Structure formats: structure tokens, C-alpha cells
Amino acid sequence: MTQDRARLTRRIAIAAVAAVALVGVILVIALGGLADDEGRVVDSYRIGERIEASGAATVIESVTLTDRRPAGDLEAAEGRRWLIVSVTQTNLGTVPLFVANLRIGINYGSALDQTDDTSTVDRVDGGLSASPLQPGVATRLDYVFDVPADETDARNAVVGVYRVDRVYGDPVFGDTSYSSPHPVGRIEVADIEVAS
């Protein structure tokens, strides 16, 4: 009798866990949590064209490969160079927008997978902090990447503009959250300006 009761309790527990798992899967699917981003079409742009994403308008002005970084006049490390993506970004909202919500990536070949992370973002005029962007004000910024000198190939460079406004909060730990950036625009760079 005790064994039957234990077996019945085990079956009820297994059924309850399975039901909770099933409800979880249904909620994830219904809320689009497993949506496949791989098949999404990413629009192509040219240097100088406007791309709107994450509440900002971004215009890629130029891409420069240099040994000396303009802000601070820093020299690149041995075997490295600075790849600088100069942009004009305008906050389209009504409140200040932090640069962390805007993502620019540099890639080689066709993939937009953010293989190189931005080292820093410099404000071109005044050398002040790049963030936040004030509403309606066009701001010139340099997204600076530290790249290997021998792997940078102008024929394969692609600048990606990413949307990062998909931020998820964590109900257990409170304010902890993360973003899920995905590309919204690609700019193939025909010529990278080379400066010394």
C-alpha cells in the first residue's frame, strides 16, 4: 500500500512537471521567443544613406583605417590598426538616448555577426562623452574598432547597423536585463580610407 501511494505520488509529480514544461513551451512560442532571426532580410545601404533603428537615424559618413586614433591621438598597438566608422546619429525620440542602445559592427565578408566589438565611441566635436544623444540633435561620432592590421581587407568590409531595442527584464533578479541585437542595415564599403 505504501509502495502504491509512493508510485502514485511520483506519477502526479511527473505529470505536474510535464504540464508546467508544456505551458512554458507554449508561452515561449506564443511570445516569439524562439523566432528565427537567421532568415531575416537585412536591407543594404550605401555610405551617406539614412538608416533608422533603435529610435535614432544613423548615416555612415566614412570608414577609415589608421595607425593613429583622432581622439586622444593614440597610436595602435604593434600589428593592430584603428578602424574608424564615422557616423552622424540623430535621436528621433523626445528623451535622451544612450549610445549603448545603438550598435555599429564591422565585419568581413557577408555575415553580420558582430565579430569585432567597438573599442569605444568618440564624439567628434568637442571630445565630450558620446552619450547621451539629445533629442533632435545630429551628433558626429566615431565608432572605433581595434583590428588586426593584416586581416583588414577593403573589398570585404561590411558595416552593420544593429537594432538593440529588444531588452528583456528578469523578474527574479529585478533590474538585470540583456539586449538581443540584430542587424537592420548593411553597408558594403567599396573603399576604406587609409590614413597613417
Select the more confidently predicted residue: 106 or 88. 88
- Residues 144-191 have pLDDT tens digits of 887 777 655 544 667 777 766 544 554 454 544 555 566 777 777 766
CA–CA gap between residue 99 and residue 97 (Å, rounded): 6
The answer to which of 4-13, 26-35, 129-138, 156-165 has the lowest mean pLDDT is 26-35
User: Nearest-CA neighbor of 83 among 101, 107, 59?
Assistant: 107
Domain boundaries, the chain: 1-35, 43-194
Residue with cell 507554449: 26
d(CA 132, CA 99): 6
Give the position of cell 516569439.
Answer: 32
> Which residues, listed in sequence order, are joined to residue 53 by a DSSP beta bridge?
56
Q: Which CATH architecture has domain 43-194?
A: Sandwich (2.60)
* This prediction's pTM: 0.65
Mean pLDDT rounded to a whole number for the chain? 72
Q: How confident is the model at residue 50 (pLDDT cuts 50, 70, 90)?
A: very high
Contact in structure between 79 and 148 (CB atoms under 8 Å)? yes
Residue 141 has pLDDT above 80, yes or no: yes
Interatomic CA distance for residues 88 and 56, integer angstroms: 10
Kindly report which listed range (40-49, 80-89, 114-123) carries the lowest average pLDDT score.
114-123
